Amino acid sequence: MTKLLEIENLQTHFFTSAGVVKAVDGISYDVNEGETIAIVGESGCGKSVSALSILRLVASPPGRVVGGSIHFKGRDLLQLNDEDIRHVRGRDIAMVFQEPMTSLNPVLTVGRQLTETLQQHLGMTREQADARAIELLGLVGIAEPERRLKQYPHHFSGGMRQRVMIAMALCCEPKLIIADEPTTALDVTIQAQILELMKDLTRRLGVALIVITHNLGIVARYADRVNVMYAGKIIESGTAHDIYHDPQHPYTLALLKSVPRMDRPRQARLDPVQGQPPDLTRLDNGCAFRPRCGFAVARCAREAPPLVRAGAGGHLAACWETETVAGSLQRAS
Amino acid sequence: MSATHATESVNPGGATIRAPSAGEDSIPDGGRAPDRRSVTTPDLITVRNLKMHFPVTEGALIPRVVAHVKAVDGISFTIRKGETLGLVGESGCGKTTTGRCILRLEHATGGEIVFDGKNLIELDRKAMNALRQKIQVIFQDPYSSLNPRMKIGEIIAEPMKVHGTEPNKAARDARVTELLGLCGLDPRFADRYPHEMSGGQRQRVGIARALSVRPEFIICDEAISALDVSIQAQIINLLEDLRDEFNLTYLFIAHDLSVVRHLCHRVAVMYLGKIVELADCDELYNNPLHPYTQALLAAVPVPDPEVERQRAHQIVKGEVPSPINPPSGCVFHPRCRLAVGDCARTIPEFRELRPGHWVACSVVQSLREKSGAS
């Protein structure tokens, strides 16, 4: 497998009046061609900012990428000038946003929003672009594409708008699609339709996908590899099997234990993660999960653990006490 | 489920069960089956044939009604004292409107809601305000449901002032301290403002406020949906502890089916203004009968890649139609995998197919009858 995207020590900070928020604080990961990667975490953990940083879409000020590199097909996206990065956006790397209600322009027809990208990036004529747009709407499962092309976003339901967003993302046959909470605003039956569509299209067209989500179930069904984020850092990384059956980090373990599961007998009581997520302006040198962690030792307060090999294969975790965590799992089972 | 098709109902054994006479609606009360979690106390609230039709108007100066949105279209259920009834369905199915009708935040178009022997729909303002002390609500969004200009202590004390339950300021302050403690918050939070708190902490304030006037019945309208995964479990545990401690009755409105399964005794599934299935929690999840419930359950991803690989992914086609002009016959028929020609014409009856298990689907009903007869 060839590496498509290599993120190395990415740091994106926000400079606010309350202090520097280290939203993304040194994360590294790769995406191979045609692979689906999930980034999981709770709100404020930096998962969206890390994805926006790839396309340099972080609002500046107050945000700024302060360090690291993002190599896409050999080029560092962070070093490109504004004109060059504009050519990457939408053509090589496309994005699907969470809110299908607000991420389409309400005063332009759906057709115009699709053809704009085609004319801009691929230099198509209006007629060629229209034909391609009709083809794309059909591809994402929208009935009567010719008629729908002339309609405005408010004529579409939430699920249909998300299909339009996916059609827009597919316009220029990108190598990578970044989907930021693509189904969070949708109902569960529509969510299943959209996820199935994205899975089918990425497999068929060989597109790599980065899915950002807080839903552990979606990750289990669709991702090849998973990165778990907490307080701006990746704290665990591995295959979906590694993460769900052999979690090495106490946060991953606690997160998995805290959700009620439909495939298991009903529990008497849930086992929540204690405490609150940390304030990102007040992080110290220790591990950010320490105050909520059941395995914390003195060392955790002194130095933050690096993301290192834990368990089998490419399984990584950032914790000093992975052996104790693994031991507790074995005792439990 | 309206009175017009309340004829004889037949259970799978072939025996006739109580057939509601004309003009009287069958009340699916279910849950009589021996179940470790079933509740057998008297009914606290009975909803009969509840309808909420919102007019759709045209014309700016002289608006005329051109259609109705049938947000809730003839639903019936009961909730026993101490029981938690889950109300699930997708957005626009009418689950929130049902809660708002019970709170009288909407004035229902038809039917009745009997609480404490009184029909809430007919109560005058004064009597309703008095009764509101017993019925409280926890809203979805902990950011917009707390007044940003009030201190947490004032927010929690306000219902006590309005209802005059604690006329004395010192007693109110003591009660605020007690409630903060009950909901897992430091008593010092009383002097803080909502913006100083996280989403989970705010939701605890919303719960403390609902509890302040010692209600019997609490409507939780998507009370945990806006919270992070790690915080959701904390709030679910809190709601359970409070239910046990104060013998509370909940109507738990939610779209997260795994949370509903964890928390509820019985579950009603709504689709386009109607209840399509109602049963004991374990019965509904282990043996869903309505094709919509089956599709809904299949659509929920399980956080385990091995389980996911083996599960059948039956994906329901299409989207929820507009409640202004809902499909004829069974409202689910255009998306249903079992639909036959008759489904587009006949509105299915809401029948008890197994003890306490009510389903509105004529195909499932006739299949059951056939297998029962053979």
Find the range with the poorest average confidence among A61-70, A78-87, A153-162, B120-129. A153-162
Indicate the average pLDDT of chain A: 88
pLDDT tens sequence across A246-302: 999 999 999 988 888 888 888 778 888 888 888 888 888 899 999 999 899 999 999
In chain A, domain spans: 3-223, 230-332
Task: State residue B33's pLDDT score.
Answer: 32
Which SS3 state, helix, strand or coil, does residue A286 take?
Answer: coil
Could you tell me if residue B93 is inside a domain?
yes
Contacts of A230 (CB under 8 A, 6+ apart): A41, A42, A45, A251, A288, A289
Give the C-alpha distances (Å, rounded to integers) separating A204 from A34, A35, A139, A160, B362. 9, 12, 11, 21, 40
Whether pTM exceeds 0.90: no
Task: State residue B30's pLDDT score.
Answer: 40
Based on the domain organization, do B351 and B224 belong to the same domain?
yes
pLDDT tens sequence across B182-197: 999 999 999 999 998 8
Report the alpha-carbon distance of residue A62 to residue A13 in Å, rounded.
Answer: 8
Task: State residue B8's pLDDT score.
Answer: 36
Q: Give the pLDDT band (50/70/90) at residue A24.
A: very high
Q: Bigger pLDDT: A328 or A132? A: A132
Question: What's the number of CA atoms in the CB half-sphere (13 Å) around residue B79?
Answer: 28
Q: Which of A245, A262, A277 sits opposite B257 (nearest CB)?
A: A262
Structural domain A3-223, CATH architecture: 3-Layer(aba) Sandwich (3.40)
Exposure b/e, B91-102, CB count within 10 A at least 16 = b: ebbbbbbbbbbb
Percent of chain B whose predicted confidence (pLDDT) is above 70: 88
Is B201 within 8 Å of A276 when comparing Cβ atoms?
yes
Task: State residue B39's pLDDT score.
Answer: 66
Could you tell me if residue B238 is inside a domain?
no
Q: Is the pLDDT of residue B213 over 90?
A: yes
Percent of chain B whose predicted confidence (pLDDT) is above 90: 59
Indicate the average pLDDT of chain B: 85
Domain enclosing residue B153, as ranges: 143-213
Based on the domain organization, do B196 and B221 belong to the same domain?
no
Contacts of A294 (CB under 8 A, 6+ apart): A250, A254, A274
Q: Give the pLDDT band (50/70/90) at residue A325.
A: confident
Based on the domain organization, do B115 and B166 belong to the same domain?
no
Based on the domain organization, do B82 and B222 belong to the same domain?
yes
Domains: count for chain B: 2
Q: Which residues of B touch A254 (CB under 8 A)?
A: 230
* Chain A contact for B141 (CB, 8 A cutoff): no
Q: Which of A193, A214, A261 sits opposite B258 (nearest CB)?
A: A261
Task: State residue B333's pLDDT score.
Answer: 94
Task: State residue B2's pLDDT score.
Answer: 40
Q: Is the pLDDT of residue B36 over 70?
A: no
Distance from CA of B189 to the nearest CA of A (A): 15
Based on the domain organization, do B323 and B184 belong to the same domain?
no
Task: State residue A313's pLDDT score.
Answer: 82
Task: State residue A183's pLDDT score.
Answer: 83
Ramachandran area for residue B140 (φ above 0: left; ψ -120 to 50: alpha; else beta): alpha
Based on the domain organization, do B200 and B258 belong to the same domain?
no
Distance from CA of B332 to the nearest CA of A (A): 13
Task: State residue A333's pLDDT score.
Answer: 58
Q: Which of B230, B299, B308 sits opposite A258 (nearest CB)?
A: B230
Task: State residue A26's pLDDT score.
Answer: 92
What's the mean pLDDT in A29-43? 92
Could you tell me if residue B234 is inside a domain?
no
Based on the domain organization, do B38 and B128 belong to the same domain?
yes
Q: Is the pLDDT of residue A139 over 50?
A: yes
* Chain A contact for B35 (CB, 8 A cutoff): no
Based on the domain organization, do B101 and B222 belong to the same domain?
yes
Based on the domain organization, do B63 and B192 belong to the same domain?
no
Task: State residue B301's pLDDT score.
Answer: 84
Q: Is the pLDDT of residue A221 over 70?
A: yes
Could you tell me if residue B235 is inside a domain?
no
Report the alpha-carbon distance of residue B72 to residue B86 in Å, rounded.
Answer: 16
Q: Bigger pLDDT: B230 or B152? A: B152
Task: State residue B175's pLDDT score.
Answer: 94
Based on the domain organization, do B120 and B180 belong to the same domain?
no
Q: Is the pLDDT of residue B1 over 60?
A: no
Could you tell me if residue B265 is inside a domain?
yes
Tell me which H or E stretch contains B45. strand B43-58
Q: Give the pLDDT band (50/70/90) at residue B244.
A: very high
Distance from CA of A79 to the nearest CA of B (A): 35
What's the mean pLDDT in A126-141? 90
Based on the domain organization, do B126 and B149 belong to the same domain?
no
Percent of chain A whose predicted confidence (pLDDT) is above 70: 99
Given the DSSP bridges, would you call strands A208-213 and A36-40 parallel, antiparallel or unpaired? parallel
Could you tell me if residue B361 is inside a domain?
yes
Distance from CA of A41 to the nearest CA of B (A): 9
pLDDT tens sequence across B101-160: 999 999 999 999 999 889 999 999 999 998 999 999 998 888 889 999 999 999 999 999
Task: State residue B343's pLDDT score.
Answer: 93
Q: What CATH number is associated with residue B108?
A: 3.40.50.300
* Chain A contact for B243 (CB, 8 A cutoff): no
Could you tell me if residue B351 is inside a domain?
yes
* Chain A contact for B225 (CB, 8 A cutoff): no
Based on the domain organization, do B351 and B250 belong to the same domain?
yes
Find the range with the poorest average confidence among A246-255, A304-313, B1-10, B344-353. B1-10
pLDDT tens sequence across A78-104: 999 999 998 898 889 999 887 777 888
State both tokens at B74: 């003839």
Find the range with the poorest average confidence among B18-27, B73-82, B148-157. B18-27
Report the alpha-carbon distance of residue A37 to residue A50 in Å, rounded.
Answer: 13
Give the C-alpha distances (Å, rounded to integers) separating B61 from A169, B58, B64, B68. 44, 9, 9, 19
